[in-house]
A and B are shown apart, each in its own frame.
Chain A
Amino acid sequence: MQREELERFAETQRQFLSGFAHHILVCAGLGCLHNDEIIKALREVIAAQGLEQRVLVRKVGCMGLCALGPVVLILPEEISYQTVSPHDAAEIIAALGKEPVQRLLLPSTLPFFTRQHKNVLALSGRIDPESIDDYLAAGGYTAVLKAITAMRPIDIIRQIQESGLRGRGGAGYPTGLKWSTVAKAGGTKKYVVCNADEGDPGAFMDRSVLESTPHAVLEGMIIAAYAVGASSGYIYVRAEYPLAVKRLKLAIREAQQKNLLGHAICGASFDLNLQIRLGAGAFVCGEETALIESIEGRRGIPRPRPPYPAEKGLWGCPTLINNVETYANIPLIINRGATWFAGLGTEKSKGTKVFALTGKINHTGLIEVPMGTTLREIVFEIGGGIPGGHAFKAIQTGGPSGGCIPAEHLDTPVSYESLSALGSIMGSGGMIVIDETTSMVELVKYFIQFCRDESCGKCIPCRVGTAQIHGLLEKFCNRTATDTDLATLERLCDLVKNTSLCGLGQSAPNPVLSTLQYFRQEYLDRIVDPAHSHLEGQP
């Protein structure tokens, strides 16, 4: 399909949308339950009052503030309503163009809205994720057109390199460098893969991006495939995200119909076929070589690296694997330029980052901030602080592979380097706030149990080490640990971290190590008095 045709689709949709006096946007993300009933109720009221030509109800993606969902947005007035139920439909319609419904009003001056900087999430909650026309009308796929018709692959890769974009899946490897490795690799068959196996418990950035703007991810993948010379691709997505899978499938079909996927894309001599592969509930498959094994239909057991997937990946061919959010950043960089992107963030961590804020925090939800924003701003301004008058104790970043950062480091600007300097990691972007009612030792036991259960069993340090660490933590929880156990725990963590095969094992001890660093007293308090330890009946 040529540029003119796509522009015509976009223009038609824009005209259709501009024909309505009011738009009612209803969040249809997973977190806003009963949104279908709200949409139905609104449409019924509109039909009963004969307002079909004036008011348009649209289902859109996530608006971010999941804690106060279901959220409804009225355009063009930019009025947001919180915790809407189907019974509120008549009142919302009656208030259109008049004073908003005070009872439901969500103040737009909340720091949650004003302090964010939305790039990847800019269209999230603004367009219908199940309509390619909506995405086109909002300027979608212009980056693909620009890349394919006006740029050489090498120019695209250079632009990504200059932008300073780093992998959003956790490790922070420079994206442009990865692309250039795959582009330079020999062989005629290459693959692009989107890692949407968001396994960290407490993280839902990728789910939300896939549910809200699936076409942005496809657009990023198309550009990537063109740049590295791939003609096939896979999106490996968790089976636990049925809504995201459904919307992705639809998006792929719509993109095929518009010749944005398939044969001779946009009239160029460039083909790309994308397929979805469902995960099946194995955390380790988020590791890139395990993910490859799983796409090939086997148990998700990591391979030793090198060779890296960029040289030998799927079926031994060069394979580019990037995370959902990384791909979603690509169209923005192509459209707005490397300089624009590099102007955001810190010296070594460029751009913005999406975080999922959860745990003991008022504004649970999805946020996007420039790199370099401090943890304090995220927790206390955007996140609205801790509920129930409790005190902040720690923030856990990076999921089960990450660490716990205590209050004294709240003023740390968030970047790949700063978080790892504190003994944690950026990870994919999960942030779990912990208040003083949670015991760190218990929480760490939970994470280690997770890693123990999810260890694939291939390498001994991870398989046996995580089980041993879990056993030791159990003793701390039961208050039967001794000084020797503490020393063993530290030694074991060091061993597992340094000798495991893949990222799962290498990072599994992180929660233990970071809490031993910042909350050591909690461990010491649980050690039995050495003088009486023989009374505990321990062997």
Chain B
Amino acid sequence: MPTAQPDHRPEDKRWKMVDLAMQRHDYRPDALIETLHAAQDAFGYLDISTLKYIATRLNIPPSKVYGVTTFYNHFDTKPKGDHTLVVCTGTACHVKGNDRILAWLQERYGLTPGQTTPDNTLSLVEVRCVGACALAPVIITDGTITGKTSFADTTVIIKEWRGDAA
């Protein structure tokens, strides 16, 4: 996933998506979560200046906007790396061994869910059940859902992304 620094020049077209979301709800405060979704879709993550902008337009205290952003797991306040691995930690995936992947990533790269490697190549995201339990264990590699993934398969993909020797 390309890392996009939000460009705060008004001519950046991505702001239109954010403005449109607020406009659709008449700039009412209850548009906040919908707007955060739109902003994250547009920029990949939510940085402080984006949050401040939304707070001003919706007339909500910035502290509340920050509170909502950090309350919900779906919202990221940091940019993602070049590649994103999403590991499903639903019960079926847990029972079928996705905890091993997480342990391996922690051991080899010191990576815990929500973090990105220092060289910005890999972000790890943990998700609570995508509802495809028949495919357990499920991982999502750069937006592509893959089911019945073995531990070995997953490590191969990650090493490939990182350019590590096998």
- On A, residues with C-beta under 8 Å from B are 30-31, 33, 66-67, 69, 198-204, 207-208, 239-241, 277-283, 294-300, 356, 358-360, 364-365, 396, 399, 430, 432, 434, 438, 443, 446-447, 450, 456
In the docked arrangement, what's the CA distance between A52 and B144, Å? 32
Query: Given that A240-B131, A283-B128, A365-B134 are known contacts, is A278 also in contact with B33, CB under 8 Å in the complex?
Result: yes
Query: Given that A358-B92, A364-B133 are known contacts, is A295 also in contact with B73, CB under 8 Å in the complex?
Result: no
Give every chain B residue within 8 A of A434 (Cβ-Cβ). 95
The answer to whether A31 and B132 touch across the interface, beta carbons within 8 angstroms, is: yes
The answer to whether B91 and A201 touch across the interface, beta carbons within 8 angstroms, is: yes
Show 7 A/B contacts (Cβ-Cβ < 8 Å), sorted by A: A30-B145, A33-B145, A66-B132, A202-B91, A204-B129, A299-B68, A443-B95
A280, A298, A446, A450 interface centre (most CB from chain B within 10 Å): A280
The answer to whether B37 and A240 touch across the interface, beta carbons within 8 angstroms, is: no
Give every chain B residue within 8 A of A67 (Cβ-Cβ). 134
The answer to whether B145 and A359 touch across the interface, beta carbons within 8 angstroms, is: no
Nearest B-chain residue to A399, judged by Cβ: B91
The answer to whether B133 and A356 touch across the interface, beta carbons within 8 angstroms, is: yes
Stretch at the interface among B8-16, B24-32, B100-108: B24-32
B160 at the interface (CB under 8 A from A): no
Query: Given that A201-B89, A202-B92 are known contacts, is A30 also in contact with B132, CB under 8 Å in the complex?
Result: yes
Interface positions, chain B 117-166, Cβ under 8 Å from A, are: 127-136, 145-147
Nearest B-chain residue to A430, judged by Cβ: B91
B34 at the interface (CB under 8 A from A): yes
Q: Which one of B30, B75, B89, B130 lies within 8 Å of A280 (CB-CB)?
A: B75
A-B contact count (CB 8 A): 124
Nearest B-chain residue to A435, judged by Cβ: B95
The answer to whether B37 and A66 touch across the interface, beta carbons within 8 angstroms, is: no
The answer to whether B32 and A207 touch across the interface, beta carbons within 8 angstroms, is: no
Nearest A-chain residue to B72, judged by Cβ: A280
Give every chain A residue within 8 A of B128 (Cβ-Cβ). 199, 201, 240, 281, 283, 450
Q: Which one of A198, A281, A294, A443 lies within 8 Å of B131 (CB-CB)?
A: A198
The answer to whether B135 and A360 touch across the interface, beta carbons within 8 angstroms, is: no
Query: Given that A30-B132, A201-B129, A240-B127 are known contacts, is A360 also in contact with B95, CB under 8 Å in the complex?
Result: yes
Nearest A-chain residue to B91, judged by Cβ: A202
B2 at the interface (CB under 8 A from A): no
Give every chain B residue within 8 A of A456 (Cβ-Cβ). 71
- Min distance, Cβ B18 to any Cβ of chain A, angstroms: 15
Q: Which one of B30, B71, B145 lies within 8 Å of A282 (CB-CB)?
A: B71
Query: Given that A33-B145, A296-B30 are known contacts, is A204 also in contact with B131, CB under 8 Å in the complex?
Result: yes
In the docked arrangement, what's the CA distance between A307 and B140, Å? 42
A201, A203, A277, A359 interface centre (most CB from chain B within 10 Å): A201
In the docked arrangement, what's the CA distance between A460 and B127, Å? 26
Q: Which one of B74, B75, B127, B131 lies within 8 Å of A207 (CB-CB)?
A: B131
In the docked arrangement, what's the CA distance between A356 and B131, Å? 9
- Min distance, Cβ A426 to any Cβ of chain B, angstroms: 17
Residues of B within 8 A of A (CB-CB), count: 36
The answer to whether B30 and A295 touch across the interface, beta carbons within 8 angstroms, is: yes
The answer to whether B68 and A240 touch across the interface, beta carbons within 8 angstroms, is: no
B52 at the interface (CB under 8 A from A): no
In the docked arrangement, what's the CA distance between A316 and B43, Å? 35
The answer to whether A202 and B68 touch across the interface, beta carbons within 8 angstroms, is: no
In the docked arrangement, what's the CA distance between A297 and B25, Å? 11
Give the 7 A-B residue pairs with the shortest CB-CB distance, closest first. Answer: A66-B134, A280-B72, A281-B73, A201-B90, A204-B131, A202-B91, A297-B30
In the docked arrangement, what's the CA distance between A199 and B131, Å? 9
B36 at the interface (CB under 8 A from A): yes
B36, B131, B147 interface centre (most CB from chain A within 10 Å): B131
The answer to whether A446 and B94 touch across the interface, beta carbons within 8 angstroms, is: yes
Give every chain B residue within 8 A of A279 (Cβ-Cβ). 72, 74
Q: Which one of A199, A208, A298 lies within 8 Å of B68 (CB-CB)?
A: A298
Q: A202-B129, A277-B34 are in contact. List 18 more A-B contacts (CB 8 A).
A: A67-B134, A201-B91, A201-B94, A202-B92, A203-B131, A204-B131, A204-B132, A278-B37, A279-B72, A281-B74, A283-B128, A298-B32, A364-B134, A365-B134, A438-B95, A443-B95, A446-B94, A450-B128
- Min distance, Cβ B136 to any Cβ of chain A, angstroms: 7
- Min distance, Cβ A514 to any Cβ of chain B, angstroms: 15
Give every chain A residue within 8 A of B34 (Cβ-Cβ). 277-278, 297
A199, A297, A432 interface centre (most CB from chain B within 10 Å): A297
Interface positions, chain B 27-82, Cβ under 8 Å from A, are: 28-34, 36-37, 64, 67-68, 71-75
Give every chain B residue within 8 A of A241 (Cβ-Cβ). 130-131
The answer to whether B92 and A30 touch across the interface, beta carbons within 8 angstroms, is: no
Give every chain A residue within 8 A of B136 (Cβ-Cβ). 358, 364
Q: Which one of A277, A281, A358, A443 lies within 8 Å of B133 (CB-CB)?
A: A358
Query: Given that A239-B37, A297-B33 are known contacts, is A359 also in contact with B71, CB under 8 Å in the complex?
Result: no
- Min distance, Cβ A397 to any Cβ of chain B, angstroms: 11
In the docked arrangement, what's the CA distance between A399 and B92, Å? 11
In the docked arrangement, what's the CA distance between A278 and B21, Å? 13
Query: Given that A203-B131, A297-B30, A446-B91 are known contacts, is A281 also in contact with B72, CB under 8 Å in the complex?
Result: yes
- Min distance, Cβ B22 to any Cβ of chain A, angstroms: 11
Nearest A-chain residue to B28, judged by Cβ: A297
Give every chain A residue within 8 A of B64 (Cβ-Cβ). 298
The answer to whether A280 and B135 touch across the interface, beta carbons within 8 angstroms, is: no
- Min distance, Cβ B128 to any Cβ of chain A, angstroms: 6
Nearest B-chain residue to A211, judged by Cβ: B131
- Min distance, Cβ B153 to any Cβ of chain A, angstroms: 14
In the docked arrangement, what's the CA distance between A434 and B129, Å? 17
The answer to whether A30 and B133 touch across the interface, beta carbons within 8 angstroms, is: no
Give every chain B residue within 8 A of A364 (Cβ-Cβ). 92, 133-134, 136
In the docked arrangement, what's the CA distance between A360 and B93, Å? 11
Query: Given that A199-B128, A277-B34 are known contacts, is A282 also in contact with B133, CB under 8 Å in the complex?
Result: no
Nearest B-chain residue to A278, judged by Cβ: B37
Query: Given that A278-B37, A358-B91 are known contacts, is A239 also in contact with B133, CB under 8 Å in the complex?
Result: no
- Min distance, Cβ B14 to any Cβ of chain A, angstroms: 19
Query: Given that A240-B129, A283-B128 are known contacts, is A432 also in contact with B135, CB under 8 Å in the complex?
Result: no
